[in-house]
Amino acid sequence: MTLATPQTPIELVVFDMAGTTVRDDGVVEQAFARAAERTGVAERMPWEEALGYVRDTMGQSKIDVFTHLSGGNTELAERATAAFEGAYAEIVEESGVEAIDGVAELFGELRERGLKVALTTGFAPVTRDAILDALGWRSLVDVALSPVDAGRGRPAPDLVLTALLRTGACCVQSVAVLGDTESDVRSGRRAGAGLVAGVLSGAHNRATLEAAGADYVLDTVVGLLELPAFRVG
């Protein structure tokens, strides 16, 4: 693991949502199970193999995941993606949605310091916005992006680069990226972000995040302020 301190001051912090700033607690897997049952999208492979693929690709665009699971059947992938988004909304309505402890305060502290805060996700805008509304976060972030807003989902760099363009950060070296998955880390690395950190509050473990290129691996995002690039004084 490289303990990097960016030479350019950080202006923008790009956070993933589910598993990073929002508690997952298996909701993504539950929504996938409901979508698979309703559309048959995972019938071309053993269930455990399909579920393993979903776990491995946490953080990626859901349409890309379902396109793979459907064997390239784009019509089925679109139906499965819609079913997944609907199932996720159902589960949120049934059980509610919770933030990772301290995240709202972290957003507030970063913005008090004059930094921009962006949220990125593999979810469609309808699900992303439902989560933002449930948590009351719309006024706490500068931009929230889904793959459809950027071009490609993770691990492509598009979401990070679009966040930079939307917020007016000076350069990619002034961007910090945080996420709980290999795809989050690879997206930050491919974008050229000045700092990329993995977090252990979601899908992937320390070894996976470090192998993907994380500069740091934190227990949760609230550890961000302890990193050299964010210390005050």
pLDDT for the residue 4? 47
- Count Cβ atoms below 10 Å from residue 52 Cβ, excluding itself: 12
* Percentage of the chain exceeding pLDDT 90: 48
Calculate the dihedral angle through the C-alpha atoms of 216, 160, 124, 144, rounding to the nearest 10 degrees: 90
pLDDT for the residue 233? 58
Distance CA 181, CA 115 (A): 24
- Enumerate residue ranges in the chain where pLDDT < 70: 1-7, 233
pLDDT for the residue 175? 96
Give the closest residue to 13 by CA, choosing from 153, 210, 188.
188
